[in-house]
Structure 1
Amino acid sequence: MRSGLSAVLIALSCLLVPFGVLSAWAAYGLSDTSRYVTTMAPLADDPDVRDAVADTVGDGIMQEIDHELDARVRRGTITPFVHDAVRSFTRTEAFRTAWNEGNRAAHDAVLRALRDERDPREHPVTVDLAPVTAQVKARLAQDHVPLANRIPVQHTEVDLLPAQQLGRLRKGFHVLEVAGFWLPIAAVAFAVAGLALAARRRRALTATALGTALGGALLALAVAIGRSLTLADLPAEVSQPAVGAVYDALTATLRTTSWILVALGLTVAALTWLTRRPHLPFRRRRTSTAPTTRTRPEQPPPRVRV
């Protein structure tokens, strides 16, 4: 009974390890704005991300000025200048600043929407692209691009989260906040209780370590599968290399934690096996009540001659 309960507790602990790490990462890693901006900041120098941003912003600018310019003029002269100017802008320090501020604004907007208790149907999550358009317009004017001053800088809001999906996402976010706190605590508590109840604690410790390593490996596999599924579901106009770079940046901490669990579990299991006590052979000793010293047989008395 005691050994069976110990095995169940250890199995539950190993099962909760990957889910606890995943929920803690989602609840505390992704929900911290400063940490999110720091994680996304290096992507401003990623070529795939810069190209994706340049194409998106360039197409947006051309859509804004489409009604003011003749289509033939746009295709022949304005479009190459706009895209070249946007690509040049993505290599400047101003773009890095705009990138960080844009990520901060978008993250704050998403968090406010997820934590807001008002009716989600009235409050979709949007981000304004007008600051980026204004900086690109100024860069085009400095390069003396024709008709650059006629580019309209309007408050173009891009939907980050549709209003009809906020209710479901808000419930999931609250569940993650609760699970991110309690699942790691439950995993540690089950492991400690299982080791305390184990009749053979060395063997139980080895099983716990190997289970932890297996949980870390499954977590790393889940991250890899999630990446493949994310890239496979993208629309054709979205850059897969750029989305892959963003996914890798966001899950870097998760991947590192999973491999730490694998290394830690295997190390503890190996040390437990190497430091085990050797079993010495046990020999029974026969006990006897007989005297241990031998007595000589009595000699007959010598004969005396008269």
Structure 2
Amino acid sequence: MRSFLSTVLIVLVAVLTPLSALAVWADREIGDTDGYVTAMAPLASDRDVEDAVADRVTDEVMKEFATSDAADEVRSLVHDAVLSFAGTDAYRTAWNTVNQAAHTAVEKALTSYEGETASVDLAPVIEQLKAQLSKDGVPYAHEIPVGDATITVLDHDTLGSAREVFDTLQLAGVWLPLLTLLLMLSVLLVARHRLPELALSLAAGGLLLLLAVALARFLALNDLPLRVNRPAADAAFDALTATLRLTAWCLMTAGVLVAALVRRGRRRRAGARPAVGAGSGVEDSVPHTAS
């Protein structure tokens, strides 16, 4: 009976481990503004995102110079200036600002059915760029418009049923991880000798988590509208799920390592045990025949 119960608990741990990681991620990273901004911060130095921002800002600026004889010159100047500006502290600060503002839209896109598409408004970036170029004496810099210039982070129509899963996991919060921890402790209480199997169940949970992230990436990014910059969307998804992938690899590595070490230790202890009858003095008790 104990063997069956421990097996059921071990299987539950393997299933609940990736769900627990997703619940914590949904609650503490996506559901929290500071966590979201921190997750998106590395994109400030991502080349694909920099190109997407440069293209979007340049397109917005060129609306004011479409009929100008200097249009080509201005386009090249602005595009190069944005890419150069992208390496500055001012750009990173502006990037964090726009993501802080975008967090509400991202969370709403993941949890609601109101047709919301999460976008990042690049107006603060353009404002910083305009000020920097004007300061450097770049021609036409003072004429750069600061209007609505957005890039899409998440498209509502591509989320589908994943929205229900995310909403449920976000509500689960820390309760699901606590339940998983209690199940792990239960396994150790019921059948402590099954620690290697428990460790491997954590590794299996990490593998399931990695597969879940890969599947979500395919479903979310496979059929994006033409208005969405695919490389930038890929980078945004990878930034948002970086913690999940790291957690998955840690679970797999730790699980396999613990299982291997426990089994190795048991084999060593078994090999060190004396054979039955060894050193028992049986030979000494046999009487010797006098010669």
Q: Give TM class, smaller chain.
A: 0.7 to 0.9
Q: Is the 2:19–2:169 Cα contact (8 Å) retained in structure 1? A: no
1:255 to 236, 245, 260: 245
- Which of 130, 138, 163 is 2:131 aligned to? 138
- What is the alpha-carbon distance in structure 2 between the residues aligned to residue 19 and residue 129 of structure 1? 34
Structure whose CA Rg is larger: 1
- CA apart distance, 1:271: 2.7
**Given residue 169 of structure 2, which amino acid in structure 1 is its aligned partner?**
L
RMSD over aligned Cα, in angstroms?
3.8
Count of residue pairs brought into register by the alignment: 275
Q: In the superposition, relative to structure 1, how do residues 146 and 275 fare at CA in structure 2: closer, same or farther (>3 Å)?
A: closer
TM-score, normalization by structure 2: 0.74
Q: What is the deviation of 1:99?
A: 0.9
CA contact (8 A) 2:62 2:71 kept: no
Distance 1:163 1:250 in 2: 16
Please name the residue that 1:299 is paired with: none
Label 1:222 to 1:74 Cα distance change in 2 as closer, same or farther (>3 A): farther
C-alpha deviation, 1:9, in angstroms? 1.7
Provide the C-alpha distance between the structure 2 equivalents of 1:111 and 1:236, rounded to a whole number of angstroms.
23
5 Å-filtered alignment, 1:199-214, equals: 201-202=192-193, 204-214=194-204
Encode CA deviations 1:120-153: one digit per residue, 9 max, x unaligned. 68x9876644333333333444455554434433
Alpha-carbon distance change, 112 to 22 in structure 1, aligned in 2, over 3 angstroms: closer
Give the Cα–Cα distance (whole angstroms) in 2 for the partners of residues 92 and 152 of structure 1.
21
- Kept in 2, the 8 Å contact 1:128–1:156? The answer is yes
Q: Which runs of 5+ in 2 are unaligned?
A: 278-285
Measured in 1, the distance between the counterparts of 2:236 and 2:121 equals: 21
Would you say the 8 A contact 1:27–1:173 is kept in 2? no
Aligned to 1:78: 74
Instruction: Check the 8 A contact 1:6/1:194 in 2, yes or no.
Output: yes
AA aligned to 2:209 is: L
- Structure 1 match to 2:282: none
The residue correspondences of 1:1-306 to structure 2 (distance < 5 A) are 1-63=1-63, 65=64, 69-70=66-67, 73=69, 75-108=71-104, 110-111=106-107, 128-142=121-135, 144=137, 146-154=139-147, 174-198=167-191, 201-202=192-193, 204-235=194-225, 238-276=228-266, 277-278=269-270
Unmatched tracts of structure 1, length 5 or more:
284-291, 294-306
In structure 1, distance between residues paired with 2:55 and 2:148: 19
User: 1:231 Cα shift?
Assistant: 4.7
**Aligned-partner Cα distance in 1 for 2:117–2:263:** 57
Q: Is the 1:13–1:186 Cα contact (8 Å) retained in structure 2?
A: no
